[in-house]
Structure 1
Amino acid sequence: MSSDGVRYCFIVKWLDPQTCLVWRYQLFYYTGDNSIEMYEIKNQRIFLKRVSHPEVHLEHLYLGASVTLYSRQLVIEDYGDEFTRKHLQNLQETTLALIKPDAIQQMGQIINSVHCNGFVIKQLRMCQLTTQDAQTFYKAHSGKPFYGALTTFMSSGPCVAMELVAEDAIKRWRLLLGPTCTEKAKVIAPSSLRAQFGTDGTKNACHGSDSTETAKLELAFFFVDRTLGSCARMRNCTLCIIKPHALLEGSMGAILDLILQNFDITAMELLTFSRTNATDFYEIYKGVCSDYHAMVHELASGPFLACEVCNKKGDTNPVEVVRELCGPIDPQVCKMLRPDTIRAQFGTNKVKNAIHCTDLPEDGVLESQFIFKQRFKPAQEVIKCKKF
């Protein structure tokens, strides 16, 4: 190790939205000063000379991750050399973490625990399983005395599926969960998630994969078909987007907790927008908002969490009351006038103001449809075209 720290190498791809060409690069990351450089593979030349980029951190460089560098959204395909593979492969184990229906109202606190314990959330989506879906997921327990009660419970309300990345992710997540039986967890692991949020052996707040093989199967169940258990209502709703900078700062759980104190979250997904996607989403602000281009850049800079939000009681439009919770656009104004709002607590400036919320009552359904009807191509999707 030199004064530069350690150099890691990744193979990344970039889809040029103008030409539909996929370009591949070697991305080098230096831990000593958070600097990066890029080498274009096809033309065998330096594409980006080494430059400091403090917003990039090693824990966010894993297979399948999206990294935005100078408006180019790069997807990490593979490790770039054996040194990187050897040193990072075991540090980037993945597991399924499932928040069960009984703990949905506490998901903010659970996600905060995920962050505080060093996990990176690679994928996340809310689902409403049917009884058949639940039976398929738990088919390994078919025939056991608790199988019927378990599958009925798991289809009784929404759940949240997450793919977590960390060193020894499977073992560490199960340790954080605690024993399967909540009563036992309260005795021998009182700080565990099941001790805090569970009720019994079935309604025990969370689930975790028990092996590498099981994790692969369970992650595929929830994330290969992203229409599985779609639960967006797309009526009398508003859309909230927890912005990329807030996720990077670890504020997701705390923001969700504030929303859930007064509202229901009826659909949720972790997404990454291309610049085109972000431009389309913010189209109504073009020529109206002076920060339009900066807003687009921020939304396309990394993963964000989209949430459909509805009132807890009554089928009424929640747009204006959710805007009250979020606060004025400028966090500095919020801090002086509305210190309890989300933007006052987690925002930095008018662009990095923690959360987007629907402005007009008639637009809540439109924004929810834009996100949850998948009217855009996910950033990770590779269009079949000529590759370089």
Structure 2
Amino acid sequence: MAAMLRYCFITEWLDPSSGVLWKYQLFWYPETKEVEMVDIKNRRHFLKRTKYEELRASLLYIGSMVTIFGRQLKLTEYGDDFTRNSIESQTERTLAMIKPDAYKNMGKIVDAICQSGFLISKLRVAKLSKEEAEAFYSVHRGKPFYDRLTDFMSSGRICAMELVAPGAIRKWRELLGPTDSNQARAEAPGSIRAQFGTDKTYNACHGSDAPDTAAEECAFFFGSGRYPGKCDVARGTTLCVVKPHVVADGAAGLVVDMIQDVYDITAAQLFTLDRNAAAEFYEVYKGVLPAGDFNAMVEHLTSGPVLALEVADRDGADAVEPFRQLAGPMDPELARVLRPESLRARFGLNTIKNGVHCTDLTEDGVLEVSYFFTILAQA
């Protein structure tokens, strides 16, 4: 009888109450959708082999955060050679960057990425200074197009993403198409640059060209101690949080696209929240909602990555109340009756998994935006 397929990882969990860092072996059995955890220090089972269908293969790579029964674990090492050899070939990473000329089409491009089989493991909107743009493109320093390129790249917001997929570098460059957008329209009309680019410089997106370059470019945006081009938190903006079930389904780009049809997105970032952060963020609902609903909301918000968006009115008006109308009623069933074109009507499943969170009160707009983009982003 053939042995059952099993993957093993070394994981860490920081106990928020005691501050103690625990290490576990995490075993995943994809054929039966079961997990098992062993406490490394005490050499005993922490979780016996148990059914857990929420864990997916796309989340299993070093550096990833996975949630097992409400406990967030960081995957730090492979637990054996079989896992290393099996997973590494499936989890190549590359940097994708949406340039200022295509930023208005961010939702459409993110959706194309998700529909092409990539996992977006990290995402951040930034506005590069001239110096940061020069540093990122330093390999081109001295070339005739360098000044024009760095002026362009520091002229507006960009969206940087770390993409994970088998052969991610080649796959992303194929989805991009030729560097010259005019050539792309002739040779690869379905490509990103053919659809959203203008010429060889204003060509919608950037992609790493080799593994070493990909590692350096991802570190530029997502490495420790590095935070280029932080977007300022504006007055009158509101917060939208795309919830984990929408992100996991690869539909976040569709949400962004619906928002960009009407509003500007002035900041965006993927976050993985622990229970303390989620409970603190939802504190205003504690005592207002039944305890079971509050706990379920917190559990869902910690069940996977969320995409936080700062949303601004294009004419400078306060965005909180108008955006609530686009979000729709909290109950998706009610939203489908009263506001069938709303975000919750389209992406909500129930009152807990209702697609998106939006700021409820005008006076809370800047507070909620600041919580994500000032407090959590710098934690």
Kindly indicate whether the alpha-carbon contact (under 8 Å) linking 2:220 and 2:226 is maintained by their aligned counterparts in 1. no
Looking at structure 1, the residues matched to 80 and 334 of structure 2 have their Cα atoms a distance apart, in angstroms, of 49
Deviation at 1:363, TM superposition (A): 0.5
1:91–1:168 contact (8 Å) kept in structure 2: yes
Aligned CA RMSD, in angstroms, stands at 1.3
TM alignment of 1:92-241, pairs within 5 A: 92-224=91-223, 225-241=225-241
Unaligned runs of 5+ in 2: none
- Does the Cα contact within 8 Å between 2:330 and 2:354 map onto a contact in 1? yes
2:320 aligned partner: 319
Q: Which residue of 2 aligns with 1:72?
A: 71
- Counterpart of 1:214, as a letter, is T
1:203-352 alignment, distance < 5 Å: 203-224=202-223, 225-290=225-290, 291-313=293-315, 315-352=316-353
The alpha carbon displacement at 1:277 in A equals 0.5
Match of 2:309, as an amino acid? Answer: C
- Asked if the contact 1:242–1:305 (Cα under 8 Å) also holds between the matched residues in 2, the reply is yes
TM-score by length of 1: 0.95
1: CA distance, partners of 2:378 / 2:312:
26
2:355: which partner in 1?
354
State the shift of 1:377 in Å: 7.2
Paired residues of 2:221 and 2:227 also in contact (CA < 8 A): no
Answer yes or no: is the 8 Å Cα contact 2:98–2:159 preserved in 1.
yes
Measured against aligned partners, the alpha-carbon deviations of 1:267-295 in whole angstroms (never above 9, x if no partner) come to: 01101111000111111111002221111
- Give the secondary structure class of the aligned counterpart of 1:373: helix
Matched residue count: 376
Helix, strand or coil for the counterpart of 2:353?
Answer: coil
Shift of 1:357: 0.3
Deviation at 1:70, TM superposition (A): 1.5
For 1:29, the equivalent position in structure 2 comes to 28
Distance 1:160 1:353 in 2: 26
User: Cα offset for 1:145?
Assistant: 1.1
> CA separation in 1, counterparts of 2:37 and 2:148?
54
8 Å CA contact retained: 2:181, 2:199: yes
Is the contact made by 1:3 and 1:32 (CA closer than 8 Å) also made in structure 2?
A: no
* Contact 2:107–2:254 (8 Å) recurs in 1: yes
Letter in 2 for 1:274: D
1:67 is paired with a residue whose SS is strand
Q: For 1:376 and 1:267, how far apart are their aligned partners in 2? A: 11
Determine the structure 2 residue equivalent to 1:383.
none
Distance 1:60 1:375 in 2: 22
The answer (yes or no) to whether the contact 1:232–1:308 under 8 Å persists in 2 is: no
Tell me the distance in 1 between the aligned counterparts of 2:71 and 2:365: 30
Partner residue, 2:15: 16
Task: Verify the 8 A CA contact 2:233 2:370 in the aligned structure 1.
Answer: no
> How many angstroms apart in 2 are the aligned matches of 1:68 and 1:356?
20
Q: Name the CA distance, whole Å, in 1 between partners of 2:209 and 2:217.
A: 10
Structure 1 residue 338: deviation in Å? 1.3
State the Cα distance separating 1:375 from its structure 2 match: 4.9
Conservation of the 8 A alpha-carbon contact between 1:98 and 1:206: yes
User: Which string of whole-angstrom CA distances, capped at 9 and with x for unpartnered residues, describes residues 36-61 of structure 1?
Assistant: 11111111111111111111111111
Deviation at 1:226, TM superposition (A): 4.7
Q: Is the 8 A contact 1:277 1:376 kept in 2?
A: no
Identity %: 50
Q: Distance in 1 between matches of 2:377 and 2:27?
A: 30
Q: 2:63 is paired with a residue of what secondary structure?
A: coil
In structure 1, what residue type is equivalent to 2:251?
Answer: S
Residue segments in structure 1 that go unaligned for 5+ positions in a row: 379-388
| Partner-residue secondary structure (3-state), 1:367 | helix
Amino acid at match of 1:326: A
Q: What residue identity is the alignment partner of 1:333?
A: L
Question: In the alignment, what sits opposite 1:382?
Answer: none
**1:52 and 1:261 mapped to 2: Cα distance?**
42
C-alpha distance in structure 2 between counterparts of 1:317 and 1:18, whole Å:
38
Structure with the larger RCO, 1 or 2 (CA within 8 Å, 6+ apart):
1
1:374 is displaced (CA, Å) by 2.0
Residue 48 of structure 2 is aligned to residue 49 of structure 1: yes
Contact kept, 8 Å, 1:90 with 1:167, in 2: the verdict is: yes
1:175-217 Cα distance to aligned partner (Å, 9 max, x none): 1100000000001111110001100001100000001111111
Could you tell me how far apart the structure 2 residues matched to 1:130 and 1:270 are?
A: 22
